[in-house]
Amino acid sequence: MSLSLRPARRDDAALILAFVRELADYEKLRHEVEAELADIERDLFGSNPRVFCDIAEWDGAPAGFALWFYNYSTFRGRHGIFLEDIFVRPAFRSRGIATALMRALAQRCVTEKLGRFEWNVLDWNAPAIRFYRSVGAIPLDAWTTQRVDGEALERLAAG
Ligand SMILES: CC(C)(COP(=O)(O)OP(=O)(O)OC[C@H]1O[C@@H](n2cnc3c(N)ncnc32)[C@H](O)[C@@H]1OP(=O)(O)O)[C@@H](O)C(=O)NCCC(=O)NCCS
């Protein structure tokens, strides 16, 4: 039994989209997934990509993924990593796969002298929150995520 991590390749685009949809199903947010194959291909595998993906394989079978990008902290004066998605297929859970994906990103933070490694989690997702505690993450209770999209975004843009 062996685990391997590797950067995603262009021919993983359909797999990545499948992982995104499986994660959205778990989060009961499948209706919000608008991304199509062409979006993944363009943004992860076009010229000068700004979003990245690591694939975890267990004995060669696709088991999970982490999708991330660089953000920036003016307080730290350094870039950081924002983890957009992490997901391990149910059949492969509790084998340390997510821990390995997180460790690889933590190692990137250390190697690249990045200031922070952070992400959002839904407040009802107790198993994931327990997992995050196990890797040393602490919740930022004073902060909430704010978003403008859809018609509100159009209105703001129109002035
Ligand atoms: C959360 C998730 C990524 C963890 O993946 P995983 O590969 O099973 O995690 P690991 O095996 O590395 O877990 C390490 C430790 O975290 C804790 N942990 C992980 N999953 C857990 C769970 N479902 N319940 C309780 N503790 C859990 C345990 O301490 C675990 O060690 P153990 O299984 O040896 O006891 C996976 O359960 C998942 O994909 N969940 C659905 C999607 C999701 O919630 N993603 C995060 C969205 S923010």
Nearest to 65 by CA among 116, 22, 108, 32: 22
Q: Quick one: average pLDDT of 17-28?
A: 98
**Protein residue with least CA distance to atom 40, ligand 1:** 87
For residue 98, the CA-to-ligand 1 centroid distance in Å is: 7
> Which of the listed residues 57, 94, 119, 132 should we mutate to test ligand 1's pocket, taking the one with most ligand atoms within 8 A of CB?
94
Whether residue 72 lies in the annotated active site: no
* Domains with residue ranges and CATH for the chain: 3-158 (3.40.630.30)
3-class DSSP assignment, residue 6: strand
For residue 4, the CA-to-ligand 1 centroid distance in Å is: 17
- Report whether residue 118 contacts ligand 1, using a CB cutoff of 6 Å: no
Query: pLDDT tens for residues 51-98?
Result: 999 999 999 999 999 999 999 999 999 999 999 999 999 999 999 999
Residue 1 has pLDDT above 90, yes or no: no
In sequence order, what E strands does 47-105 have? 52-58, 61-73, 78-88
Q: Quick one: average pLDDT of 7-13?
A: 98
CA dist., res. 55 & res. 40, Å (int): 14
CA dist., res. 152 & res. 4, Å (int): 43
